[in-house]
Every structure is written in C-alpha cells, then in structure tokens.
Amino acid sequence: MTQVVPPILSVTPSRALVDEKFKVLVENLPPGCPVTVRSLHHSEDKDDWEAYGHYVSDHSGVVSVSEDLSYGGTYTGKEPMGLLWSMRPVPGSRPGLRLRKMNVCTPMLVTVSVHSGHEGFRDQAPLASVLTERWYMAPGIRRININEQGVQGTLFIPPGPGPFPGLLDMWGGGGGLLESRAALLASHGYVSLALDYLGFDQESENLEFKYFETAFNIIKDHPQVMPDRVGIFGLSLGSLVAVTLAAYSTIVKPCCIVCISCNHYYPARGSTVTSKFEGVTRQLSKARVNEDNQVIWKDVALEFITDPSNIAEVGRINCPTLLVNGCDDQNWPTVETAEDVARLMREAGKEHLLSRLAYPDTGHLIEPPFSPHFRATTFVMRSSKEKVILLWGGQTKPHSDAQEDSWRKILSFLQFHLYCSPNLKAKI
C-alpha cells in the first residue's frame, strides 16, 4: 500500500480498567484496503502475546474494530474486544504458558498496530501504532501488605471514606499470592483481601480454619468496612474454602459467597485444605492423558465426589450463594458439583439461596472479561514438584463470552447482596 498521508490509528480510551471496553479505529486508508490490526503484549514472564484480525477498509477508508468484520486471524466476525480475549503466545513460544499480571501497581501494556495486507504482517513495520494501558487497580486504590495475626495477603481499599462492603478473595490450587482480581474488585467499590493460603502448612484443621476466620475478620473489623456486609469470593480450591467456611464456621458469617468452578470435596475431617489437596493430587497421578500429553483430572475427581462422606455439608450454608461453572471443564467435575450442591441445598430447604450460571464450551479458568483463554497450561504438582500440562477445557470464543457475561452477573450479585441495603451506602 502506497499513500502520501499515513493512516491514523486511535484506541479509546487508551487507559482503562481491564474489564472496560475500548474502541479501535483506523482512518485515512484507501477505500477497500486490506489491513491487519494487531495487539502485542510483553508479559512479566518475558513472553510475547498477540492477537490480530484481518480487515478491509470501507468506502471512506475507515476500519472500526467495534463495527466491522474480521475476515480471519485469532478471531473472526464482529468482535470489539477480540484483540484482547483472543491473545495467544506468539509462534515459537514455550508450551503451556498462562498470562498473569503479578504487579497490579503497573498496567498491562498492549501495543495496538495496523499493518498493510493480511499476510506477513509480523515481518513488516506497522503503518501506525498506539500504546494502551489496561489496569486492574483504579486510581486512588490503596494497596496494603497484610502480615498480621499470622495472616498473609494484600488488602485493597477503594478511594473515599466509605464504609464499603468487604470481600475475602481466594484463587485455586496453583498457590501463591494473586492480587489481580482483588484489585479489580476494589476498583468496583469493595475492600478486598487477596489471601495467600496454600503456602502455609497448618498443623491441624482447627488452626487452618482459624487462619481463614482471622483473615475474614481482618476485613470485617477494618474501620472502612461495613461489618455485616462481607462476602467470600473463591475460584476452584478457593471456592472449597468459601463453601466450608459458610457451612461450618461458628465465627465467620459471610453475607454471600461466589464460587467459580466450585469444589465441595471435603474428605478426612480433621485434615487441612492443603493436605486434602495434596492427597487429591497424589491420587490424580492415575488421571487420563490425552493425545497432546495434557492431563485430565475430571474423570478421577468425579469418583471422589460420588461418595457422600467425601463432600461438604452445603445444606448448612445460610447465605446467598452464586455458582459459576463451565460445561467443558476438564479439570474438575464442576457441572456435577453444581447439581449436587443444588440437590443438597434443596433437601435442606435452602434452594432459594442458590443462584447458578453454567456456560457451554467453557473451561475451568473463568477469569475477568477479556482475559485470554487458557485451554491447557503448565502446572506444578505440590507433592512431587513435577511439571505437567493440565487441560482446563473450553473453546476460546464461547469461553471468552462466558467470562464477560459471568463477570457482569457476579458484579450484579455482589451489588445486590453487599450494597443494596437501606441506609448503608459508601461514599465513593
């Protein structure tokens, strides 16, 4: 493509939260001009991630990613946010990668560029490019390291005097302290504690239970938190903690719980969550491996939860509960778990407390909107330190749609149960 005046590329807004949409517009192209619009991100792990769509400019020389069809690339059709949710490692990258933002005090930097034609775009200089910032932490959020009463985590407090509702936020069996979702929840008006819990081997179930209860109370007792408006948010193994606290604790009384890819496997009373999880992973050594050498835990895990003595007494839960699961989850039998939770709560006369979201062709790792889909990634087994490729499941387009839809409904659920109360309103 030869022209005197270069095309004009704009991304609006160029700085936004990760769950906010942007608009990408290319102007000043020749009419009917084939171009590729590409996004590129260099991760904190030093890996490059990309997405791209092939477009043809209209009669006025414009390509609008929000309005026009992509004719090929990592996504097709009219996909305003395809440049984010369809991101994948560039060709030649290490296998099993997962994109995670560990330092939430800095933005995820994404370069959006436009290239001539539909082929060979990686080998040519862009016609135009724009650097965009995607943030988990909104301006004014306070981030506070927590290391008190034996509890370790990170507290995020929205700007303003409050008081605010609170959330205890826990990720799954991968371990480590992940702050991104808690920072994003704080950006939506919740004092959120990202809790590190798998790195501490408690001596007994009682001591471990006390650890979680203490973490909950750190939020509840904070002067900017409404003490009767604290919930629990967990994914995978974190959802098991949410369920067991809501069911068994005499100290913790959550106002509501959100369980993504729910787990209610709770055998061997008296043992800790960590020891239960390590016991599970040892048994999962006999799990099926597919033709791509990806480990599928779901089938073996299904055997665990068919024994009633192995599951938590979810009928004891007395707060509104939201279950979110993918119907193509290959890591854990979350569809069967959700059905069992519904049955047990119905038998206890508490089905009115339960809300369920289930998404076809969606896998285990349901994250905030526009996060890339990870069908299979590297996972380090806690007991043996062996690295395996775990199959999480899901197909990219429906999984990404599910992340967007479920996040909107999760925020509505939290708003209804933690904010919608007379005379209790935070000053944001």
Q: What are the residue numbers of the active site? A: 236, 329, 364
Given the DSSP bridges, would you call strands 354-359 and 321-326 parallel, antiparallel or unpaired?
A: parallel
Peptide bond into 80 cis (omega under 30): no
Token representation of residue 182: 């808690």
Q: What is d(CA 143, CA 74) in angstroms, rounded to the nearest whole number?
A: 35
The 3-state DSSP class for residue 138 equals: coil
| Eight-state DSSP code of residue 373 | P
Measure CA of the first residue to CA of the last residue in the chain; give whole Å.
50
Q: 411 is written with which tokens?
A: 């925020």
384 Cβ contact list (under 8 Å, min separation 6): none
Using CA atoms of 174, 323, 369, 225 in order, give the dihedral in degrees to the nearest 10: -80
> Coil, helix or strand for 94?
coil
Q: Beta strand 387-391 with 376-380: parallel, antiparallel or unpaired?
A: antiparallel
Query: Contact 357/78 with Cβ under 8 angstroms?
Result: no
Q: Longest Cα pair distance anywhere in the chain, in angstroms?
A: 75
Q: How far apart are CA 127 and CA 1, in angstroms?
A: 10
In the block, which residue shows the tokens 């022209």?
3
Cβ atoms of 234 and 192 within 8 Å: the answer is: no
Which stretches within 45-124 are classed as H helix? Answer: 82-85
